[in-house]
Structure 1
Amino acid sequence: MKQAPMKTLIAALLLVPVLGLAQTGDNASRIKKKPAATAAASQDPDVNFTPFTPLEMEAAPAPPTCVQPPIVKAFSVKEKADKFNAALNDYQACVKNYAEVHGKAANQHAEASNKAVADANAYFNELSNKGDKPAGGE
């Protein structure tokens, strides 16, 4: 009666290598194998991007070239007063134009900055919402 456990042990020891050989085939394994790296790479979309390059601050705008007429308290001749008034109107128009042009440029810069931030926020929101979905799927 003591021989039965011994026969069972010997039989089990002889079968282990045979079972090991049977499981080396691709179809016999119960363990899921990871797909080859090349197969996984072909399913991933290409990621193309331009590396980050810091922007340099643009040069400050040139100061206005508007010419201030000399300050005169009184004119002895009407033609000189008219000439002064024309120069004064020209100076005022020059300053107004300078302020409008540079104000519009400043607004365009602010709008571009705000749009860049809004686009980045939308992208990161979409990215975080996609976190609960499997990679590569929609």
Structure 2
Amino acid sequence: MMSAFGSTAKSGQQLSYVVPAEPQSVKLDRTLLEKSLSGLLSNAIKYAGDDAHICLTTEVTAGNVIISVKDDGIGIAEEDQKKLSTIFYRVSNTGHIAGTGLGLNLVKRYVELMNGTFRFSSVPHEETCFTMTFPVKE
């Protein structure tokens, strides 16, 4: 997926993937996971800024699969953070960028369908990180 999104990145953006030290196999719905990652990566490319670094990380612990998309772009204002995954809600600093306000709401629903949790953190003008955590299934 990273190579596919690399071709859509803005010219100054850098995409990277932090590969787990030891590969592991996990059971998740491939289609829902791809749609979730696609939504997060495309949002990061669209909103982070022209010179942002966007990093995908995956980690498998004894009990969880943790997947994060982090960027060092424009961030999300505190007043917008409370409503971020509300359907059709668009944050105030993205008015000039086309979007519907559906993407993060859909990602949250996909994650929940896979019994996962979806959270984010953001510091305006510093970084934004979206994290999906799934229980490991045997």
Larger radius of gyration: 1
Normalising by structure 2, we get a TM-score of: 0.18
Q: TM-score, normalised by structure 1?
A: 0.18
Bigger relative contact order (CA 8 A; separation at least 6): 2
